[in-house]
Structure 1
Amino acid sequence: MNPPFERQAVLPLAGLYVFRMLGLFMVLPVLSLYGQSYQGATPALLGLALGVYGFSQAMLQIPFGFLSDKIGRKPMIAFGLILFGLGSVVAATADSVYGLILGRFLQGCGAIASVIMALVADLTAEENRTKAMALIGASIGVSFALALILGPLVTESVGLSGLFWATAGFSIVGLWLLWRRVPQPPPLRQPKDREWRTVLRDAELWRLNFGIFALHFVLMAAFIVLPRYLELNGWGREVHGWIYLPVMLLSFLAMLPFMILGERMGKVKLVYTSAIGLLLCVQLGLWGLSGSAVTAVVALFAFFMAFNLLEATLPSWVSKVASPELKGTATGVYSTWQFTGAFLGGAVGGWVLQVAGMAAVFGLCAVVLLLWLIVSLFQTPPAKPVRYSVRLPKEGDQLALQGLAEMPGVKQVTWVDSDCVALVQVDGRTFNTALLASYEWRPAESV
């Protein structure tokens, strides 16, 4: 693959994420206020309407990822966008809070996060994957900040019903991007299928799953109290969106040098554990120190710099550890833990705030991050990718491709062009180049 091909693939996927997540995030700052007009609405039921999306997301990430390994990434993404659009229509036409809950549940049934991550992994080289995931993460961050500004404005103008109709429109835009702008991944030839249960037995993947669980637990728990923390330190709620937007953009730029250090200098684990440590320090500072208008913004900046770095690193790491033929399944398990962390972070964080106060929530986040930091010390960074360009006996030779794929240490085989050439990606620590003696081969150029 070459960089123009990867940009052609990743930019539309990032745009798809922007439109889909914008539709989801716009509801956050307005549902508890405007949702009181629904028949039968209570604070508990409105909370359920807000959180049920995460429940259905967590429930369906693994099935979507598994099916994408079997029938393809783009069909499953399209199906998920259709479900999301259907849920938006149900919510837009609802009169009662129960119709709203059903609509939100259906929105969450479009559980395509794991499939998009697997597609990004299919379309990018390993050394460029963290950058691709960072771009996806940045698009989510920008959509989050924009949603906090646009959500109240849209709802004030056209009501919650109009907002949900807008999210239905976003799903149509997403379908157009998917089919007209996202290229098909190159044909892949991997080793013979393994049971999907191997994903559940991989200790390294479980450490990464715990990492994304902890990251989104902390995100949701912290955001139960961070808006109030900003308000207490002199930032009125009417300016919060204008704080989040520049903080998100600047924190993304600030984390880029560390991402490059990790990828190009082979310091992935150092950067990874340092980012967890920074998040831990932020939570400890918020827990134990008195704040001011300036320190509140500095803490928010440090929080998002570490968050963005980890949000980009974790899925990239998963895609490198998982077997190629099980990437969809692995990212499905990963995304299940991500949404489970978000659900529990909001639920537990809200309960702790009610019974023990704001400082206790920051303390809870610090405990979770400390556990994650300890777990991260036992992780093994993925090996640097090694690829060889191998000339086949004839164009698209299926037997030769399968023979290459079954060699010990081969991770993935891709037929890259019509010149009888395959790109063979191997584990440099275990692969013996003597196995290629019967082929004309050379080291592939770095991307």
Structure 2
Amino acid sequence: MNTPTPKTEATPQDQPNWRAVGALSGVFALRMLGIFMVFPVLAVWAADLPDATPALIGLALGVYGITQALFQIPMGALSDRFGRRRIIVAGLLIFAAGGLVAASAETIWGVIAGRALQGAGAIAAAITALVADITPARFRTRAMAVIGASIGGAFGLSMVLGPLLEGLIGVPGIFLLTAVLGIAAAGWLLLTVPRGAPNGAPAATGQGGRLGLDLFRQPGFTGLTMGIFMLHMVLTAGFVILPGLLRDSTGLAVSGHWQIYLPVLIAAVLCMVPMVLKAERGTRAHGMVLLALAQVAAGLAVMAFANSSAWPVIAGLWLFFIGFTFMEAHLPARVSQVVPEDRRGAALGLYSTAQFLGAFVGGAGGGLFLGFTNIPTTLGLAAALMTLWLLLMATACRPRNS
């Protein structure tokens, strides 16, 4: 008589905790909303502050990137020792404190200090690790995509909310609101995310005792990492210029710029979605990246030569956002595809660091360059840099399995 083989049933440990993943994506989105909401309004408001110069305004916009890059690895390591939730909550409270400092600033230096403190509450590595802790390996890429989508949504929402709120509560009020968002996110985390790591997954801070610099020998990884650096460099440099450019070309006050951002972003996303679908087929992924880079470069060039005319500026902004939203959605997934599975944590850590450094270089460098030249020259330089990167990606950085 044969003994029947017992059926193997899926245990709760084999299933992702989508409720917790959703909560973590919400926490991350609230923090990034606080970072991005001042992008469309800061440059014009800060120009009236004591000691303000284009270089210091750019620094105020992008300084969060350098502190976020510097503190990401230490905060990730501390989460290994003291627990993910504690470190994420601590980072959110540091972020909230930065918002309070910036809200009470009376000079540009106070805004710089507040933004730097906001960046020091670096929780990206700890959140990524906690997502890995609560998600089985086979669901991890999907969970990371949820996090990425929430960040993209936060960026789009901030482009609309920033100008709207500027008209209602002013930029100091927006900074105060970011502090409230940080505290709210900390409370949400404590209420919705479990303490432990039910799936027994390895920590995913991406350190593993080494920095992972050998990953730059991985085909395709260098191009993707430098791509996100360049993308956030031109994004932050662009927002040193864009609020004033939109005001002068359209005649709209900054508080009315949401009327431009909202339709432009909707139109950009509608054009971006087919690109993402084509990229997911695998063989067209690299071609879609090149197309997105061309769109970003073309958008910057159109704005550079717009001569302060409204429709060319809006058209350039639309082209820029098509390429930008595609790259934001697609590049993290490509990174996880071109590196070994057991090195994804390290790869995403390096990728995020490059992104934050790009924001710092773009803000500081864009403001400094603008102080010596003018808006068309600064935008033209950004377009030239993206064109150069497009040519390099088309020739030297093509992945083997693109």
| Range of TM-score over shorter length | 0.7 to 0.9
Match of 1:61 among 64, 72, 97: 72
Structure 2 counterpart of 1:236, which letter? L
1:147-193 per-residue CA deviation (whole Å, 9 max, x = no partner) reads: 232134223xxx82x544432221121123323334667332699x9
Q: Which residue of 2 aligns with 1:219?
A: 235
Q: Which runs of no fewer than 5 residues in structure 2 stay unpaired?
A: 1-9
- Measured in 2, the distance between the counterparts of 1:51 and 1:267 equals 33
Change (3 A) 1:75 1:253: farther
Structure 1 counterpart of 2:183, which letter? I
CA contact (8 A) 1:50 1:104 kept: yes
Matched, 1:43 2:52: yes
Q: Where do residues 123-202 of structure 1 align in structure 2 (5 Å cutoff)?
A: 123=135, 124-126=139-141, 130=145, 133-155=148-170, 160=172, 163-182=174-193, 186-188=199-201, 195-202=209-216
Change (3 A) 1:225 1:209: same
Q: Which residue of 2 aligns with 1:298?
A: 315
Match of 2:271 among 254, 257, 278: 254
C-alpha RMSD over aligned residues: 3.7
Q: What SS class does the counterpart of residue 122 from structure 2 fall into?
A: coil
Q: What SS class does the counterpart of residue 34 from structure 2 fall into?
A: helix
CA deviation after TM superposition for structure 1 residue 215, in Å: 0.2
- Measured in 1, the distance between the counterparts of 2:362 and 2:21 equals 30
Structure 2 counterpart of 1:187, which letter? G
- Measured in 1, the distance between the counterparts of 2:366 and 2:232 equals 12
Q: Which residue of 1 aligns with 2:350?
A: 333
Change (3 A) 1:144 1:236: closer
CA deviation after TM superposition for structure 1 residue 361, in Å: 1.4
Change (3 A) 1:381 1:179: farther
Structure 2 counterpart of 1:243, which letter? I
Q: What SS class does the counterpart of residue 43 from structure 1 fall into?
A: coil
CA contact (8 A) 2:94 2:118 kept: yes
Change (3 A) 1:109 1:131: closer
- Measured in 2, the distance between the counterparts of 1:80 and 1:341 equals 21
Change (3 A) 1:194 1:303: same
Match of 2:336 among 306, 319, 323: 319
Normalised to the residue count of structure 2, the TM-score between the two structures is 0.77
Q: Which runs of no fewer than 5 residues in structure 1 stay unpaired?
A: 385-447
Q: Which residue of 2 aligns with 1:436?
A: none
- Measured in 2, the distance between the counterparts of 1:308 and 1:341 equals 16
CA contact (8 A) 2:62 2:360 kept: yes
Q: State the structure with more CA Rg.
A: 1
CA deviation after TM superposition for structure 1 residue 26, in Å: 4.0
- Measured in 2, the distance between the counterparts of 1:270 and 1:185 equals 40
Matched, 1:356 2:373: yes
1:310-343 per-residue CA deviation (whole Å, 9 max, x = no partner) reads: 0122222233444555544433332222222112
CA contact (8 A) 2:232 2:358 kept: yes
Structure 2 counterpart of 1:218, which letter? V
CA deviation after TM superposition for structure 1 residue 219, in Å: 0.7
CA contact (8 A) 2:299 2:318 kept: no
Change (3 A) 1:128 1:329: closer
1:364-409 per-residue CA deviation (whole Å, 9 max, x = no partner) reads: 112221232233234455869xxxxxxxxxxxxxxxxxxxxxxxxx
Change (3 A) 1:136 1:63: same
Structure 2 counterpart of 1:33, which letter? W
Normalised to the residue count of structure 1, the TM-score between the two structures is 0.70
1:123-147 per-residue CA deviation (whole Å, 9 max, x = no partner) reads: 4443675565234312222123212
CA deviation after TM superposition for structure 1 residue 243, in Å: 1.2
Change (3 A) 1:273 1:174: same
Structure 2 counterpart of 1:366, which letter? A
- Measured in 2, the distance between the counterparts of 1:273 and 1:115 equals 32
| Higher RCO, 1 vs 2 (CA within 8 Å, ≥6 residues apart) | 2
Greater share of residues in strand: 1
- Measured in 1, the distance between the counterparts of 2:131 and 2:283 equals 22
Matched, 1:374 2:391: yes
Matched, 1:237 2:256: no
CA contact (8 A) 1:126 1:320 kept: no
CA contact (8 A) 2:240 2:367 kept: yes
Percent identity, aligned pairs only, is: 36
